């Protein structure tokens, strides 16, 4: 989407990717939903499933590290898309790859994977893939100022 912006008598075209902005917005809400459900599932797992000592706290810590990394990534994505910053878009692409590994861990490699967790993680991975494609398009579209 292009938008003509006039600041201090100079006009320029803003080429922020509107679809990417919408995906970031939806992804932020899905992250909150994901975290609430995931914390509830970890509480249930801790009460009903046998864990080796120390594994459950490690997985919960990984979940919160992943959540903070995602919040950071979404913030950079939001600002990078609005400001049309190629550097921010490239860093979002790199962070998306790390986030993808984190969500793949929770979908496949954690100690006990519930079907609901698997579905939630796969949906999040689809969101990540969509954002990744949109930000690759953004890197191509953004023009140096």
Q: Determine the 3-state secondary structure of 12 from DSSP.
A: strand
Residue 126's pLDDT is: 96
Residue 95's pLDDT is: 96
Residue 140's pLDDT is: 81
- Average pLDDT per 10 consecutive residues for the chain, totaling 145 residues: 56 71 95 98 97 95 98 95 87 95 96 97 96 86 64
pTM: 0.86
């Amino acid at each position: 989407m292009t938008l003509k912006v006039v600041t201090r008598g100079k006009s320029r075209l803003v080429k922020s990717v509107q679809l990417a902005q919408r995906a970031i917005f939806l992804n932020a809400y899905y992250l909150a939903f994901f975290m609430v459900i995931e914390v509830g599932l970890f509480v249930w797992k801790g009460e009903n499933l046998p864990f080796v000592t120390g594994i459950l706290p490690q997985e919960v810590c990984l979940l919160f590290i992943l959540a903070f990394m995602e919040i950071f990534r979404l913030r950079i994505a939001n600002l990078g898309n609005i400001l049309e910053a190629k550097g921010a878009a490239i860093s979002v692409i790199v962070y998306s790859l790390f986030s993808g590994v984190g969500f793949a861990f929770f979908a496949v490699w954690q100690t006990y994977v519930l079907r609901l967790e698997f579905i939630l993680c796969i949906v999040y991975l689809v969101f990540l893939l969509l954002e990744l494609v949109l930000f690759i398009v953004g890197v191509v579209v953004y023009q140096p100022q």
